[in-house]
Amino acid sequence: MAQLQEVIVGRAANDSLDIVRQAGRIGALIRGIDLSEELPAPTVAAIRAALIRHKVIFFQGQHGLDDARHLAFAGQLGTPLAHPTLPVAADSRYIVELSSRKAQPAVPWHTDMAFLPDYPEISILRCVVIPEFGGDTMWANTATAYDDLPAPMKALVDGLRAIHTKSFEHLNTQKPVDERPESVERLRLASVAAVYEAEHPVVTVHPESGERCLLLGHFVKHLVGFSPQESQRLVAILQDHITRPENSVRWKWTAGDVAIWDNRSTQHKPVSDYEAQHRHVRRITLAGSVAVGIDGKPSRLLKPKLESST
């Protein structure tokens, strides 16, 4: 079946993009854009509008995008955010290096840094080296997953909250999450506590689209008010809705590809099926805001406990 094609018009100006949808509910390829060049504001606005709509967008042939231009483009979309623990590039604390030559465990379906109340809004991943076979990445739409829930299930999950946690064996105490004083203090305390923990609503309201999205994934420890066994069973049911084939897209990488996803309305999972081959990608994430549930209650940081917390 021929792929559907559309033109997205930017909200800020009459600026269009050549877009080819990759799946029915999520994913689109944008053609004719060179991310290594300084982009005009209307084009950036159109890219962001396409991202909010399609959840994950792809660009091919971006061979001119080095670390400096990767960071510059990220700065046009938002505020770069340094990861507190993952390996970073030698000359930039904002660029995470994900390489098969460094010991990194396989990662299940997740939303990036969901152990923070203000987890990233956007991630930008650049493919440097790709295996001859395998190494794809999958994304799932957490907004349509919520929409598909039966009404009784929606009534249950609308008021639920979940604890998301991440323990660290080695913390990079040289590089705070960002330069805000509260982030520096958060990392200092985490270096002692060796754990981040946040409480989130299970159903969040997307701050730009207004969509209701399921916030779950690998970092969920348990649901508030449920036993571990009950939590595991209920989360598994919801995860099955999120990762249904019709709710997902799978991207086969080529060197020079770039993927950008809305971390507030997706989960993703790298596929670890490339055996001993080399796979190297580089990622920048953009700072987000504290998540909010449909009842208006925000997410909150549990660990490390900041001195300013109440």
Q: Which residues are catalytic?
A: 110, 112, 268, 283
The Cα-based distances of 292 to 159, 161, 164, 196, 224 in angstroms read 12, 11, 15, 19, 16
Cβ atoms 71, 159 nearer than 8 A: no
Integer Cα distance of 247 and 24 in angstroms: 8
d(CA 46, CA 18): 11
**CA-to-CA separations, 240 to 22, 141, 189, 246, 271, in angstroms, rounded:** 21, 12, 35, 11, 17
CA angle 177, 182, 183 (to 5 degrees): 5
* Residue 305 backbone zone (phi > 0: left; psi -120 to 50: alpha; other: beta): beta
> Residue 109 is which amino acid?
W
What is the number of other CB atoms lying within 10 angstroms of the CB of residue 54? 26
Q: Which residue matches tokens 């970092």?
A: 219
Closest among 159, 171, 288 to 226, alpha carbons compared: 159
φ, ψ at 139 (rounded to 5°):
-130, 150
Q: What is the largest CA-CA distance in the chain?
A: 57
